[in-house]
Amino acid sequence: MLKYVKKNVNMKKCVLFLLTIIVNCLFFICRHLL
């Protein structure tokens, strides 16, 4: 059970990290277009 929770937390961190990168990229592109 603990292993599963740990794995899940790591996955959430990964997803958050990817989302942050995507948002930053979009922001960067938008700024350049404007």
Reported as a single tens digit per residue, the pLDDT across 1-34 is 678 778 888 889 999 999 999 999 999 999 998 7
Count how many domains the chain has: 1
Which pLDDT score, from 0 to 100, does residue 15 have? Answer: 94
Which pLDDT score, from 0 to 100, does residue 22 have? Answer: 97
Which pLDDT score, from 0 to 100, does residue 34 have? Answer: 76
Query: 3-state SS of the chain: helix, strand, coil percent to 5?
Result: 95, 0, 5
Radius of gyration in angstroms for the set of CA atoms belonging to the chain, rounded to a whole number: 15
Residue 1, domain extent: 1-33
Which pLDDT score, from 0 to 100, does residue 31 have? Answer: 93
Which pLDDT score, from 0 to 100, does residue 18 have? Answer: 96
Q: Give the integer Cα–Cα distance in Å for 25 and 7.
A: 27
Q: Give the integer Cα–Cα distance in Å for 10 and 32.
A: 33
Which pLDDT score, from 0 to 100, does residue 6 have? Answer: 80
